Structure 1
Amino acid sequence: MSELQTVFGLHAVSALLEKEPEKIKRLLVLTGRKDQRLESLLVVARKRGVSIANMERHKLDKLVVGNHQGVIAECDAITEMGEEDLEELLQALTEKPFLLILDGVTDPHNLGACLRSADAAGVHAVIAPKDKSAPLNGVARKVACGAAEHVPYIKVTNLARTLRWLKQYGIWLVGAAGETEKTIYENDFKGSVALIMGAEGKGLRRLTKEHCDDLVKIPMAGSVSSLNVSVATGICLFEAVRQRGL
């Protein structure tokens, strides 16, 4: 029997109920909690035929790390998407691809925040290497506030190979790097484009940087030399959104 995965928080559980209710084995709900948001979620759960169990707070607290907001979904492990899914997704698009690639982002909180920004910006998929990348776990889903169920998170075996393939597909690769002179406001994001963000501190790996068609930076006026990767991702994505006219 495979180990169950937990998804927690009102937004994340609601999105899972909407998108993949068949994966949920049961909902664990805080005993005695009664409010409109939770009641609305439970109405949907009952319509979907999902089993609901009440549980004391101290027991819920032991099941997850983070603020569960009184609701936890126990579900089958959610299958990771891979290279084949990426190709299928791109072939199905009727508009110019807009992708986000995360190179070495290992913190689930940052992954969740990046997914949330990606969803808001209309990104078609978020791509990351299988090694040294944050898992799409309960923490990431909670921070993503439902975006994890809507934006495909695709793990690839070899990122450099995927970047070469994306180039052949006609997608322009734009990497964020502090050492370049070109700013995000000088770059053209209107076409088929993939924004590549590196890990905090280290930034993009050398091989990833070598595959980029352009390198851009966020102009910084203060004494701080870099931003949190999820904040930087949001700024870059929404400059692209401004240009693309969403």
Structure 2
Amino acid sequence: MEETTRIFGIRTVIEAIQGGKSIDKIYIQKGLTGPLFQELNRLIQQENYRISFVPVEKLNKLATGNHQGVVANISPISFGELETTVETILQQKEKPLFLLLDQINDVRNFGAIIRTAECTGVDAIIIPEKGGAPLNADTVKTSAGGVFNLPIVKVNHIKDAVYYLQSSGVQTLAATEKSDQSIYETDLNRATAIIMGNEAKGVSNSVLKAVDVRAKLPLLGSIASLNVSVACGAILYETLRQRRKIAT
């Protein structure tokens, strides 16, 4: 797998979209017009890609050739498919550990979480198709290469993954302060999927309503919450602690 690939040219980007490539972001020259751009714009609206309208000078720096007013970043990895990934892991492990990220926005948080997940034995990470941080070169760097060592799956909505995992016998647990139950009072020594939420809003309400368990980390200071990557690390290591204790 390579670092983030940058492509340019209207027709090239159209073909990448139609070919199902995982596109992180599209840069478009301000004021761009024409029938080919209209075709591209229609596809962008259908798929709800992250876009940024920029001056031509910005595109000249991003592209090494004739960009025609459009440059796009393609994800550095290929993403797995939910059902196939989950079923394969369930066949291999009695107590797998899945990590679901509900619209984590910061690429460095994203990368740090992937790094910790890889270090704590997470079997797969599941992220939403839209609305989360891109898996780009910054994410790869912050993950210390962790993105290449465990499956990452994209789904239309995290709630869909929650329902599928539940139907497969996996406990779903949302990390949230909207709970009276401590993570240290929660049984994590079983097939489990942990859901971490957005930096500002936490786990979305629709997902909170769907999960089996809600649990929180105790906070003894005056600050109301932890950084999401720190919280995720604490919960993953508590999961590891419980499993190693039982195993010994």
- TM-score bracket for the superposition, by shorter chain length: 0.5 to 0.7
Q: For the residues of structure 2 that align with 1:103 and 1:162, how far apart are their CA atoms?
A: 11
Q: For the residues of structure 1 that align with 2:140 and 2:133, how far apart are their CA atoms?
A: 11
1:232 aligned partner? 231
After superposition, residues 7-18 of structure 1 pair within 5 angstroms as none
Shift of 1:78: 2.8
2:160 aligned partner? 161
Q: For the residues of structure 1 that align with 2:97 and 2:83, how far apart are their CA atoms?
A: 18
1:20 aligned partner? none
1:111 aligned partner? 110
The runs of at least 4 consecutive aligned structure 1 residues that moved more than 4 Å come to none
Shift of 1:91: 4.2
Contact in 1 for aligned 2:128/2:157 (Cα 8 Å): yes
Q: Tell me how large the CA RMSD over aligned residues is.
A: 2.3
**Matched letter for residue 242 of structure 2:** Q
Shift of 1:199: 0.7
2:39 aligned partner? none
After superposition, residues 1-246 of structure 1 pair within 5 angstroms as 5=4, 77-245=76-244
Shift of 1:92: 3.9
Matched position secondary structure for 1:245: helix
1:107–1:222 Cα change, 3 Å: same
Matched position secondary structure for 1:180: coil
Q: For the residues of structure 1 that align with 2:90 and 2:244, how far apart are their CA atoms?
A: 23
Scaled by the length of structure 2, what TM-score is found? 0.67
Structure 1 gaps, min length 5: 8-61, 64-74
Q: C-alpha offsets along residues 158-181 of structure 1, whole Å, 9 cap, x if unaligned?
A: 322221110010000010111211
**Matched letter for residue 210 of structure 2:** H
1:88–1:214 Cα change, 3 Å: closer
Shift of 1:191: 0.3
Q: For the residues of structure 2 that align with 1:76 and 1:174, how far apart are their CA atoms?
A: 28
Shift of 1:87: 3.3
Aligned-pair identity (%): 36
Matched position secondary structure for 1:185: helix
Q: For the residues of structure 1 that align with 2:238 and 2:5, how far apart are their CA atoms?
A: 35
Q: For the residues of structure 1 that align with 2:210 and 2:85, how far apart are their CA atoms?
A: 19
Contact in 1 for aligned 2:90/2:96 (Cα 8 Å): no
Q: How many residues were matched structurally?
A: 179
1:165–1:118 Cα change, 3 Å: same
Q: For the residues of structure 2 that align with 1:135 and 1:110, how far apart are their CA atoms?
A: 11
Q: For the residues of structure 1 that align with 2:140 and 2:76, how far apart are their CA atoms?
A: 13
Structure 2 gaps, min length 5: 7-60, 63-73
**Matched letter for residue 175 of structure 1:** A
